[in-house]
Amino acid sequence: MDPVAAKYIGAGIACIGMGGAGAGVGIIFGHYLAAALRNPSAAQGQFGNLIFGFAVTEALGIFSFVIALLLLFAL
Amino acid sequence: MDPIHQFQIKELFPVAQIGPFNIAFTNSALFMVLSVVAVTLFLLGATRGRALVPGRLQMTAELFYNFMADSLRNATGPEGMAFFPLVFSIFMFILFANVLGLIPFFGFTVTSHIIITVALALLVFLTVIIVGFWKNGLHFLRMFVPSGVPGYMLPLVVPIEVMSFLTRPVSHSIRLFANMLAGHITLQVFAGFVTMLGAIGLLGVLGAVLPLAMMVALTALELLVAVLQAYVFAILTCIYLNDALHPGH
């Protein structure tokens, strides 16, 4: 296979990983919203945990994006 | 149009040549200085009056201050407040660097270069190690042995805990760097769509309205991300400091 073509295909495959992070972030915000609607008075206290979970999950998707960028521009 | 051209570091004027290293004042250094100057002017200006009933500027500064102070106190307890200057400086520096980078035609995002974020993350990482050993002595190593784990599981659990501790500066720095890089590349790609569509005639100009509207929305999203990532970096600093102060979960 042409190495340049393989590079672009690899970048595309690397981006699949972002789908998992998307599902994870959706689960975090969905569950936060569901819990916040059940008990709105407790919602504010969990905001820090929400952002922390979001950041940790989102980082994994960002990692696969970085791999895609490395394939496209750096290698 | 190359979407990563915007991250190029340009030399503004040379400072020194030490061996093979060319030390120069670059646009990256310029924007770091601008961020520090902006933070200093903002906080000095806001606290000059120190009114009992705060004005708008003082109100904004107190908002940032109380927000970070509450976050740190919640994460580490009252003894963590000794590290408030560190956490607040990191937060304000990243916040201003991110937001300055969003200004069109002018901005250069300092935090979109991994060398800057790695330096900040290593600062936090080394602070955690030094403070942890200083305050707890060898008890700091208890952090790697979770309580309630049966003895025969320890050979498996301890290496995992050590690995997860050692990868902290990596994920801490890449998260901020990659978020800023990805956001600015996305903006540049959509800007590329606008000019490409605009170049093909009247129909293209009509079509270019769509990516232009998308760019406005994305810029708003980027502003949110800029503030959120500064907060995330600071809150993770608080959580890591908590491990140094109270090892052993």
CATH number for the domain including A64?
1.20.20.10
At residue B23's C-alpha, the angle toward residues B22 and B27, to 5°, is 115
Lowest mean pLDDT among B6-15, B54-63, B203-212: B6-15
**Interface with A, mutate which of B164, B186, B229, B235 (most A CBs under 10 A):** B235
> Cβ-count burial of B68 within 10 angstroms (0-12 exposed, 13-18 middle, 19+ buried)?
buried
**Interface with B, mutate which of A28, A46, A52, A71 (most B CBs under 10 A):** A52
| Residue A53 belongs to domain spanning | 3-74
pLDDT, averaged across chain B: 88
Query: For position B41, what pLDDT does the model report?
Result: 94
Residue B1's pLDDT band (boundaries 50, 70, 90)?
low
Q: Is residue B138 pLDDT above 90, yes or no?
A: no
DSSP annotation of B246: S
Q: Is residue A66 pLDDT above 90, yes or no?
A: no
Total number of domains in chain A: 1
- Asked if A51's CB is within 8 angstroms of B228's CB, the reply is yes
- For every residue of chain A, DSSP letters joined together read --HHHHHHHHHHHHTTHHHHHHHHHHHHHHHHHHHHHH-HHHHGGGHHHHHHHHHHHHHHHHHHHHHHHIIIII-
Can you give the pTM of this predicted structure?
0.85
Q: Which amino acid is residue B28, in one-letter code?
A: S
Q: Is residue A13 pLDDT above 90, yes or no?
A: yes
Option in B4, B75, B182 nearest A73 (CB): B4
Option in A48, A62, A73 nearest B175 (CB): A62
**Interface with B, mutate which of A47, A50, A62 (most B CBs under 10 A):** A62
- Asked if B71's CB is within 8 angstroms of A55's CB, the reply is no
Q: How many beta carbons lie within 10 A of that of residue B219, not counting itself?
A: 14
The pLDDT of B148-163, averaged and rounded, is: 88
The pLDDT of B169-196, averaged and rounded, is: 88
Q: Is residue B166 pLDDT above 70, yes or no?
A: yes
- Asked if B232's CB is within 8 angstroms of A63's CB, the reply is no
**Highest mean pLDDT range out of A39-43, B14-18, B101-105, B123-127?**
B123-127
- How far apart (Å, rounded) are the C-alpha atoms in residues B35 and B33? 5
- What is the per-residue pLDDT across B61-110, written as a single tens digit (0 to 9) for each? 999 999 999 989 988 888 889 999 999 999 999 999 999 988 887 778 89
- Count Cβ neighbours within 10 Å for each residue of A39-63 and write b for 16 or more, e otherwise: eeeeeeeeebebbbbbbebbbbbbb
User: How many Cβ pairs within 8 Å bridge chains A and B?
Assistant: 39
Distance from CA of A39 to the nearest CA of B (A): 21
Option in A51, A65, A73 nearest B235 (CB): A51
